[in-house]
Structure 1
Amino acid sequence: MKLKLNTIRIVSVVCFVAGSQIAHATEVFRLEGIGPISRAMGGVATALNVGAAGMMANPATLSLMAPGSELHLGMDVVTTDINVNNQATGEHAPSNNHSNNRGPYLAPQAAYTYRNGLLALGVGAFAQGGLGTEFGKSSFLSRASGGLDTGLENSSRLLVLNIPLVASYQVNDKLIVGGSLEAIWEGLNLNLLLGADQVGSLIGSGRVSGSLVPVLGGLPDFRGAHFSLSKNQPLASGVDAWGVGGRIGMIYKMSNDTIAGASYAMESQVDDLEGQATLTAIDGIAGQIPLQGDIKVRNFQMPAKLDFGVSHRLNDRWMVAADVSQVFWKHALKDIDVGFVSNSGETLDVRLPQNYKNLTILSVGAAYSTGNWTLRGGGRISNQALRSDTLFAVIPAIPKKHVSAGFSYAFSKKNSVDFAYSHAFKESLGNSSLPNTSAPIQVSHSQHNMTVAYTHRF
Structure 2
Amino acid sequence: MKSKILALLGGTLLSASAMAGGYQVNLASQRQIGMGHTGTGIQTGTSSIFFNPGAMSFLQENGVTVGASGLVSYISYRSTNFTSATAEADNPLKTPFQVYAAFSINDKLKAGLGVYTPYGSTVRWGEEWNGRFGLSELSLSAFYFQPTLSYQISDKLGIGAGLVVATGSVNLQRQLPLQGANGTEPGIELDGSAETALGYNVGIYFQPSEKFSVGIDYRSKVDLKVEGGDITYQGLPASATALFQGKSFSAELPMPATLSLGIGFHPNERWTIAADVSHVGWSAYERLRFDYDAPVAGNMSSINQRNYDDAFIYRLGTEYAATDKLKLRAGAYYDNTPVQDGYLTPETPDADSRGLSGGIGYAFSDKFSVDASFLYINKKERTDTGEFSGGVAGTFKSIAYIPGIGLNYNF
Same fold (TM over 0.5): yes
Task: Tell whether the 8 Å contact from 1:131 to 1:395 is kept in structure 2 after alignment.
Answer: no
Aligned-partner residue type, residue 229 of structure 1: L
Structure 2: where are the runs of 5+ without partners? 1-17, 179-184
Q: Determine the C-alpha separation between the residues in 1 that align with 2:71 and 2:59.
A: 28
Task: Tell whether the 8 Å contact from 2:204 to 2:215 is kept in structure 1 after alignment.
Answer: yes
Q: Tell me which of 256, 272, 275 is aligned to 2:229.
A: 275
Alignment of 1:56-71 (within 5 A): 56-67=50-61, 69-71=62-64
Q: Determine the C-alpha separation between the residues in 2 that align with 1:168 and 1:438.
A: 45
Give the match's secondary structure for 1:271: strand
Q: Aligned in 2, Cα 1:435/1:228: closer, same or farther, shift over 3 Å? A: farther
For normalisation by structure 1, the TM-score amounts to 0.77
Give the match's secondary structure for 1:105: coil
Task: Tell whether the 8 Å contact from 1:32 to 1:42 is kept in structure 2 after alignment.
Answer: no
> What is residue 42 of structure 1 aligned with on the other side?
36
> What is residue 129 of structure 1 aligned with on the other side?
119
For normalisation by structure 2, the TM-score amounts to 0.86
Q: Aligned in 2, Cα 1:343/1:336: closer, same or farther, shift over 3 Å? A: closer
Q: Determine the C-alpha separation between the residues in 2 that align with 1:399 and 1:78.
A: 19
Alignment of 1:7-406 (within 5 A): 28-67=22-61, 69-90=62-83, 91-97=85-91, 103-115=92-104, 116-142=106-132, 154-192=136-174, 227-230=188-191, 238-278=192-232, 286=239, 291-298=245-252, 300-331=253-284, 333-342=285-294, 348-371=300-323, 372-406=325-359
Q: Determine the C-alpha separation between the residues in 2 that align with 1:109 and 1:439.
A: 34
> What is residue 366 of structure 2 aligned with on the other side?
413
The more displaced of 243-252 and 122-131 is: 122-131
Q: Determine the C-alpha separation between the residues in 1 that align with 2:378 and 2:386.
A: 26
Q: Determine the C-alpha separation between the residues in 2 that align with 1:444 and 1:336.
A: 26
Q: Residues 162-197 of structure 1: CA distance to partner in whole angstroms, max 9, x if unpaired?
A: 10001111001211000000110121122245769x
Give the match's secondary structure for 1:389: coil
Q: Determine the C-alpha separation between the residues in 2 that align with 1:92 and 1:251.
A: 49
Aligned-partner residue type, residue 428 of structure 1: E
Q: Determine the C-alpha separation between the residues in 2 that align with 1:194 and 1:358.
A: 33
Give the match's secondary structure for 1:390: coil
> What is residue 398 of structure 2 aligned with on the other side?
445
Q: Determine the C-alpha separation between the residues in 2 that align with 1:291 and 1:348.
A: 10
Aligned residues: 383
Q: Aligned in 2, Cα 1:294/1:270: closer, same or farther, shift over 3 Å? A: same
Q: Residues 426-457 of structure 1: CA distance to partner in whole angstroms, max 9, x if unpaired?
A: 32222224353475211111101122110111
> What is residue 380 of structure 2 aligned with on the other side?
427
Give the match's secondary structure for 1:47: coil
Query: 1:136: how far off?
Result: 1.1
Query: 1:57: how far off?
Result: 1.9
Task: Tell whether the 8 Å contact from 2:343 to 2:391 is kept in structure 1 after alignment.
Answer: no
Identical pairs, percent: 20
Aligned-partner residue type, residue 93 of structure 1: A
The more displaced of 355-364 and 285-294 is: 285-294
Task: Tell whether the 8 Å contact from 2:34 to 2:374 is kept in structure 1 after alignment.
Answer: yes
The more displaced of 316-325 and 56-65 is: 56-65
Give the match's secondary structure for 2:288: strand
Q: Aligned in 2, Cα 1:27/1:342: closer, same or farther, shift over 3 Å? A: closer
Aligned-partner residue type, residue 62 of structure 1: M
Query: 1:256: how far off?
Result: 1.6
Task: Tell whether the 8 Å contact from 2:72 to 2:94 is kept in structure 1 after alignment.
Answer: yes
Query: 1:361: how far off?
Result: 1.1
Q: Residues 218-270 of structure 1: CA distance to partner in whole angstroms, max 9, x if unpaired?
A: xxxxxx9965213xxxxxxx342211110110011121211010011111143
Q: Aligned in 2, Cα 1:350/1:247: closer, same or farther, shift over 3 Å? A: same
> What is residue 9 of structure 2 aligned with on the other side?
none
Aligned-partner residue type, residue 32 of structure 2: S
> What is residue 454 of structure 1 aligned with on the other side?
407
Query: 1:29: how far off?
Result: 4.1
Q: Determine the C-alpha separation between the residues in 2 that align with 1:186 and 1:399.
A: 26
Aligned-partner residue type, residue 127 of structure 2: K
Give the match's secondary structure for 2:337: coil
Over the aligned positions, Cα root-mean-square deviation in angstroms equals 2.7
Query: 1:340: how far off?
Result: 1.7
Aligned-partner residue type, residue 259 of structure 1: S
